[in-house]
Amino acid sequence: MTQLILADGTAFEGTSFGAPVDADGPSTPACRTGREFGTGEVVFNTGMAGYPESMTDPSYHGQILVFTYPLIGNYGVPSEELNEHGFSKYLESENIHVRAIVCAQVSETYSHHAAVQSLQEWMTKHGIPGLTGVDTRMLTKKLREHGVMLGALVQDSGIRTEEIGKEKTRVPSPESRVPDIEDPNTRNLVAEVSCKDVIIYDAPPAPDQLTVIAYDCGMKRNILRSFLKRGVRVVRVPWDFDLDAYDGHYDGVFISNGPGDPKTCVPTIKAVACAIENNVPTFGICLGNQLMALAVGGDTYKLKYGHRGCNQPCVECAPHTSKRGERCIITSQNHGFAVDETLPKGWSVWFRNANDGTVEGIRHESGRFFSVQFHPEATPGPEDANGLFDAFLGIMRHKN
């Protein structure tokens, strides 16, 4: 018997699939952190599709991912081949970053023209355990009501389950021991997923070609694709890259998504502040939104259960105010931290979440510096906000 045990002792029974729960995890050096796989922060994703992209999203590094959609794996997994630039052609990174996944039902078969292997085969290959047959509705409700919490997949834990009312609620017996679980947010997760060296991606030459310094804090590969297909030359740099010491040409600075607490990324925060001080057009996505807020004197905080899914509505605020406007877009999101309302003079809230009113984007009155909490590059999810890349390019060209 395999169980997901939460930090409060609550246990959810299921059937294991993929790699054994005591597997060593991915064999690639980039993912060797010396931590036990099958343990982490338990979070839920409400997307109906996109499990390969979610599992390879570096923002999920250190987390156990619960899929609320009842059936996972029915369209298999695409090829892991690299494109002409040397990064994943179809996925959001070259590794699986989740510590484990939990679902209600995993498909035994798959069917899709681009699939080359099953979800189970892929997870086994990368040493990632999974748990199926779980009441994910109950698990999600618990995380929503009590907040995300640490958890672990274990076999034969000794934690008994009890029937309470009509539903099977899992509670620990008095003598049961909850395993010790390290909180991944106490580490600098960005340092674990960022590239280690500068990597340059050349787009086809053009007379007015732009160059962007892209801070890799755990960057999804579709962000790179989004820049390259627009003819932008990308200089991908590590999270702690010293922008002030760089003497190469660039037209703008981009700060990517990534995992964990933004306040651990002090060098990146300093780099963003440097770019803004030098009046360099700057654009941030997800973690990049939080880092930009911190760089200009704002603050961030941890959400109760975060926003993770492909159906988050965001309302655009009126220019130079923080009041909701009339335009609403549906966005893809994956974050557990958010930007606080308090912003310095000259800055305003750009987008708000239509569900809970939290800040989903900020911008400066000059129009040269802006960031969003959601993912305009999607994968998975809607492309309502994809035009933000074009807006950033327009600002860089206008500056030139």
Say which CATH number the domain at 88 has. 3.50.30.20
User: What's the total number of domains in the chain?
Assistant: 2
Cα separation, 87 vs 85, in Å, equals 6
pLDDT tens track for 333-349: 999 999 999 999 999 99
Q: Quick one: 361 and 213 in the same domain?
A: yes
Q: Quick one: 168 and 286 in the same domain?
A: no
> Is 22's pLDDT higher than 90?
no
Residue in 126, 307, 364, 375 annotated catalytic: 375
pLDDT tens track for 363-392: 999 999 999 999 999 999 999 999 999 999
Residue in 286, 310, 314, 317 annotated catalytic: 286
Structure tokens at 218: 């755990």
Q: Quick one: 179 and 204 in the same domain?
A: no
- Which of 167-176, 198-207, 295-304, 308-317 has the weakest average pLDDT? 167-176
Reply yes or no on whether 94 is catalytic: no
pLDDT tens track for 245-254: 999 999 999 9
Reply yes or no on whether 167 is catalytic: no
Asked if 211 and 249 count as a contact pair (C-beta separation under 8 A), the reply is: yes
pLDDT tens track for 64-105: 999 999 999 999 999 999 999 999 999 999 999 999 999 999
- Which of 18-27, 319-328, 334-343 has the weakest average pLDDT? 18-27
For residue 134, what pLDDT band results from cuts at 50, 70 and 90?
Answer: very high
* Range 236-259 average pLDDT: 98
> Quick one: DSSP state of residue 88?
B
What is residue 294's three-state secondary structure?
helix
Where does a domain end: 186, 219, 251? Answer: 186
Asked if 363 and 369 count as a contact pair (C-beta separation under 8 A), the reply is: yes
Asked if 319 and 350 count as a contact pair (C-beta separation under 8 A), the reply is: no
- Residue 324 lies in domain: 191-399
* Range 6-35 average pLDDT: 73
Q: Quick one: 116 and 198 in the same domain?
A: no
For residue 178, what pLDDT band results from cuts at 50, 70 and 90?
Answer: low
For residue 160, what pLDDT band results from cuts at 50, 70 and 90?
Answer: low
Reply yes or no on whether 377 is catalytic: yes
Q: Quick one: 261 and 297 in the same domain?
A: yes
Q: Quick one: 42 and 93 in the same domain?
A: yes
Where does a domain end: 159, 186, 213? Answer: 186
Q: Quick one: 164 and 213 in the same domain?
A: no
For residue 161, what pLDDT band results from cuts at 50, 70 and 90?
Answer: low
Q: Average model confidence (pLDDT) for the chain?
A: 91
Q: Quick one: 216 and 178 in the same domain?
A: no
Q: Which residue has the higher pLDDT, 168 or 146?
A: 146
